[in-house]
Amino acid sequence: MPKTALKLTIFIILSSMLLLSPIGAAQVQAADKIGWVGPVYKELSASLTKGFKAHYKETYGKDVDITFVRPGGWPVCLDKVRAWGGKPDADIFLGAGAPAHEVLLKEGLIVPYKPKNWDKVPADWHGMKVKDKEGMWTCFAPWIVTNLYNEKVLKKLRLPPPKTWHDLLDPIYRGNVVHTLPYASGTMHETVEILMQAFGEKEAWKYLRLLAAQLARFSTGSTDTTQLVARGEVPIGIAQPQMNAMAARKDGFPVRDLLPEKTILVPEAVALLKGAPNEKVGKIFLDWLYSDDGQKYVLEGRYFASNTDVQFSKWEKEGVEMAKHAQKALGVDSFWELKVDFIEYDLDLATQRWDDVNRKYEYEIYRKWGELKSSLFLIEEVEGEIKAAQDAKMNASKAEAKIKEARNLFEYEGNYAAARLAASQARALLVSPWK
């Protein structure tokens, strides 16, 4: 065989081997592939998929394969990334607020990248961190934690919308409230943090126990809460992104959001995962996400846009259907024009106790929900009996002291068994006042 032919044959063989090798295959795959993992709603993931595919095709003349993994809410998605241990099956952590991203940062699971137009996203807003100064994560869709209600159902029940957190504890709302679990939903997790940072940890856990007794059920997630309220199955939904009411009304449901007196901004953020198998395409996606085109698809996905140049009125004229709904929902032409009083939110504290909060709620409230309700209902019954005895001029001082003990055991210690026992003892003292 001639030397030239031999060299050509060897070159072809080596080239084929390279393409078939793991390294060569990975390089080929990486060129046109990207994976997302995160808790964003399907409307947003579908919108971003559509927009980025079109952008990639127009820019590079070829298709990009997008894989989106949504195992659950913020905590579930975070744990998914943790389980990968720095060798992720995705490139981008898409969605969730600041605490989730700060956990990823502290555990070394994300890497810095400042996309184009990064400077058009505020560094902070009303005390809330909106992006990491090193570019570890950046908000692409800000929103506010609100509650929802079905105005048609509340009207039929002749109930006023609850305007404050403490309004929700009124007995008139018992069985008419729904929310999910803080370890199933980042919004609910943030709601727990709102209460803890606004009222103090001790009072917040008391509040959460009392609120749990008001629930008709626990929903499976924030989306489920929205759907239950929209369908009128339960009239009041707790811990909701503000844009959910906007989306529900667009779909024809009589749903309104109700901004409580204590709330926070949630910077729905995005980050590049450490060890991303398609890092180059991941950076292309991030650059596009903050462009005018990318932010348009954020809005069409029923989220608000983070780019400060975005004006809903302009986008409405350009045919973005959700722009008019966003403007009507917020009452301003840009999200960043909102005038809202927020609590002083300690992001470091929220990040530090992320896992502990989720664990405590699960074991002290959710798993003991039946026991919690039966204990409180017994306490309330005995309190009513004591009040009747006092109205009848009976000496109920010992019973009164005992039922206060029962209340304290329930509200501040979460000791439901001891609370029931104390309530029963209070009832016995009332029946036999000489004891």
Encode burial over 231-248: b for 16+ CB neighbours within 10 A, e otherwise: eeebbbbbbbbbbbbbbb
Q: Which of 134, 33, 38, 131 lies closest to 81 in space, CA to CA?
A: 38
The CA distance from 78 to 105, in Å, is: 11
Q: Tell me if 179 sits within 8 A of 237, measured CB to CB.
A: yes
Share of the chain above pLDDT 70, in %: 92
**CATH number 3.40.190.10 given to 143-265+345-361:** yes
Q: Which residue has the tokens 């971003």?
A: 48
The CA distance from 83 to 69, in Å, is: 14
- The CATH superfamily label for domain 29-141+266-337 reads Periplasmic binding protein-like II (3.40.190.10)
**Count of CB atoms situated within 10 Å of the CB of 291:** 16
**Count of CB atoms situated within 10 Å of the CB of 227:** 17
Q: Which of 95, 325, 364, 55 lies closest to 205 in space, CA to CA?
A: 364
Helix H or strand E encompassing 217: strand 215-218
Backbone angles phi, psi at 135, to 5 degrees: 80, 20
**Count of CB atoms situated within 10 Å of the CB of 389:** 17
Cβ neighbours for 149, distance < 8 A, ≥ 6 positions apart: 161, 162, 229, 235, 236, 237, 255, 256, 258
pLDDT of residue 1: 52
The widest CA-to-CA distance across the chain, in whole angstroms, is 119
Q: Which of 384, 236, 331, 306 lies closest to 95 in space, CA to CA?
A: 306
For the packed helices 98-106 and 74-84, what is the interaxial angle rounded to 10 degrees?
20
- Residue 209's identity, in one-letter code, is R
Q: How far is CA 37 from CA 15, 90, 91, 356, in A?
A: 34, 6, 8, 24
Mean pLDDT for the chain overall = 91
Encode the chain (435 residues) as per-residue pLDDT tens digits. Answer: 555 544 444 444 444 544 444 433 334 344 589 999 999 999 999 999 999 999 999 999 999 999 999 988 888 999 999 999 999 999 999 999 999 999 999 999 999 999 999 999 999 998 899 999 999 999 999 999 999 999 999 999 999 999 999 999 999 999 999 999 999 999 999 999 999 999 999 999 999 999 999 999 999 999 999 999 999 999 999 999 989 998 899 899 999 999 899 999 999 999 999 999 999 999 999 999 999 999 999 999 999 999 999 899 989 988 888 898 889 888 999 999 998 889 989 999 999 999 999 999 999 999 999 999 999 999 999 999 999 999 999 999 999 999 999 999 999 999 999 999 999 999 999 876 554
DSSP 8-state secondary structure symbol assigned to residue 148: E
Give the start-to-end residue ranges of the domains of the chain. 1-28, 29-141+266-337, 143-265+345-361, 368-431
* Identical fold, 29-141+266-337 and 143-265+345-361: yes
Cβ neighbours for 356, distance < 8 A, ≥ 6 positions apart: none
The CA distance from 324 to 306, in Å, is: 17
pLDDT in tens, 23-74: 333 343 445 899 999 999 999 999 999 999 999 999 999 999 999 999 888 8
Q: Which of 133, 137, 197, 228 lies closest to 349 in space, CA to CA?
A: 197
pLDDT in tens, 118-128: 999 999 998 89
